[in-house]
Chains A and B, each alone.
Chain A
């Protein structure tokens, strides 16, 4: 078992743990925390998807000539995607927190059960 599989497995477990939190925690801040755990898990999965055994970072330097790159570097594309995903994740988290503040303002509580709601 190489570290790619471990990372992949850990990523899935992180998502599961986070999902558990999202579905069972009743405090909105904790739901957001759980969500960021899910996010981290997904990022881990994505990086693992690009990982290749015994290869180096996709940066050409003195030790790595451009011509050798195809046989020596890991897949750079998932890394680029993760970069994007991380930044998007921060944006989403920040926005969720802003909503949490507003909800607190309106409802004086962050317990999801006690928040006024629309129905049916």
Chain B
């Protein structure tokens, strides 16, 4: 039962961050929220007896992807700054 409630809370959190990721006008918020969705999803996987998937999602989906997003964002910011 507790497991179920935890699961529902996590799922709702994931949905909420997804909405933030999609709606937010701020790119940084977006990217972080999207990473959060992945992270929460990996917790869900863990609860669903899928540790392999959980590890992969956490390592690849949430961390590496987010880092790459930020690299790109940095680059674009830098370029736009240098233009102004």
Contacts and interface: CB of A to CB of B under 8 A. Distances in A.
Nearest to A19: B22
Interface string A42-67: 01100110110001111100000000
Interface of A is mostly: helix
27 contacts: A10-B15, A13-B15, A13-B18, A17-B22, A21-B21, A29-B27, A29-B31, A29-B72, A29-B76, A33-B69, A36-B37, A40-B18, A43-B57, A44-B44, A50-B50, A57-B51, A57-B52, A74-B50, A79-B53, A82-B53, A83-B53, A86-B61, A89-B61, A90-B65, A97-B68, A101-B76, A108-B83
A56 B51 CA distance: 10
Interface residues of B, number: 42
Interface of B: 3-4, 7-8, 11, 14-15, 18-19, 21-23, 27, 30-31, 34, 37-38, 41, 44-45, 47-53, 56-57, 60-61, 64-65, 68-69, 72-73, 75-76, 79, 83
Assign chain A's interface to a size class: 35 or more
A18 B23 CA distance: 10
Given A39-B61, A43-B53, A47-B48, 10 more contacts: A3-B7, A10-B15, A29-B73, A33-B31, A36-B37, A40-B61, A74-B49, A97-B68, A100-B72, A101-B76
Contact of A34 (B3, B21, B27, B73): B21
A97 B19 CA distance: 21
Given A40-B38, A82-B50, A2 B73 contact: no
A118 interface: no
Enumerate the 8 nearest inter-chain pairs by beta-carbon distance, A residue then B residue, closest first. A21-B22, A10-B11, A57-B49, A3-B7, A17-B18, A97-B72, A74-B49, A33-B34
